Amino acid sequence: MGSMSNNETDDQGFGDEVTEKLRIQATKLMEQVNAGDYAAAMTVINDLSEVRDQSLYREVGRLTRSLHEAIRNFQIDPRNAEQSEALSKMTDASDRLEYVVQMTSKAANRTMDLVEEAMPRASSMRDEAAELRDEWQRLRRREMKPAEFRALYARIDTFFVTLNADAAATYDNLSEILLAQDFQDLTGQVIQKVTALVKEVEDHLLSLVMMASHVDQLTGTVHVHAEQDDRKESAEQGVGPQIKADEREDVVSGQDDVDDLLSSLGF
């Protein structure tokens, strides 16, 4: 915590008044010891320890109050309407994220429905166009018998009608796919709100931890820390997508990296 304390406003938790007293008494003590007046020096030492005790009590009192304040701000115990509303904000966060999961899944499925609807139409357009192109080439090379030409003539007629309808339907599919992306706006807002809440809770937790360590420092309390549970995420079970993969050495940055790694293993 040392790096976090600010010496200008906070002399390790002692106020200006206390440090000033300390300085004056220390000088007095030095003078009396030098002058050989040990009885007076003892009195000064007494005064000094009283100053220390008083400032300690005052400081512990202040920090305890701040600690209570922080705990209250952390909204763990809903004793009034405001607090219970804040608490419901917390439970709401998981509801909100659940909503994001639902929205994204709905959009993905809607998009895939439309794509699956459009794909067979596109492929039959492609196939029919390819066959007609080949027939047309035969006609241009004058390889076509009159009866065949009449059949082609009718087929092209039908093709134009179908092509028009199929292209219109595909266009509709595409514009519906476009609309299905509107979830991003809503889920984006929800995620931003939840992120802000997490940040808020994080800040409160941090000041709580700092205050607790401050009280410990002043009272000289030493905690016996339980053995840290440093169980890592299980690589065996899988850890999910890596964030900031390009900044990390132990993570591949894409398929090319995977291929290189596997080929170095003799794949």
Partner 1 sequence: MKILIVDDFSTMRRIIKNLLRDLGFSNADEADDGNTALPMLKSGKYDFLVTDWNMPGMSGLDLLKSVRADDNLKTLPVLMVTAEAKRDQIVAAAQAGVNGYVVKPFTAAVLKEKIEKIFERIQ
237 in contact with partner 1 (CB under 8 A): yes
The interface with partner 1 within residues 49-108 (CB under 8 A) comprises 105, 108
Of the candidates 28, 19, 29, 13, the residue with the CA atom closest to the CA atom of residue 51? 19
197 in contact with partner 1 (CB under 8 A): no
Nearest approach in angstroms of CB 133 to partner 1 is: 22
CB neighbours (10 Å) of residue 37? 13
Nearer to partner 1, 119 or 179 (CB): 119
Q: Number of residues interacting with partner 1: please give it, by CB under 8 A.
A: 27
Contact 77, 133 (CB under 8 A): no
Question: Which of 64, 109, 192, 195 touches partner 1 by CB under 8 A?
Answer: 109
Nearest approach in angstroms of CB 181 to partner 1 is: 15
Cα→Cα distances 131→10, 119, 138, 159, Å: 85, 18, 11, 11
255 in contact with partner 1 (CB under 8 A): yes
Nearest approach in angstroms of CB 245 to partner 1 is: 6
CB neighbours (10 Å) of residue 150? 11
Question: Which of 112, 196, 205, 206 touches partner 1 by CB under 8 A?
Answer: 112
Question: Which of 8, 185, 227, 250 touches partner 1 by CB under 8 A?
Answer: 250
Nearer to partner 1, 8 or 249 (CB): 249
Distance CA 159, CA 68 (A): 78
Of the candidates 158, 168, 151, 163, the residue with the CA atom closest to the CA atom of residue 126? 163
Rounded to 5°, angle at Cα 49 from 68 and 46: 150
174 in contact with partner 1 (CB under 8 A): no
Nearer to partner 1, 148 or 259 (CB): 259
Nearest approach in angstroms of CB 239 to partner 1 is: 7
SS3 of 11, please?
strand
The 3 state secondary structure assigned to 179-210 is HHHHHHHHHHHHHHHHHHHHHHHHHHHHHHHH
Question: Which of 24, 115, 167, 168 touches partner 1 by CB under 8 A?
Answer: 115
Amino acid at 203: D
Q: Which residues bind partner 1 (CB under 8 A)?
A: 105, 108-109, 112, 115-116, 119, 235-242, 245, 250-255, 258, 261-262, 265, 267
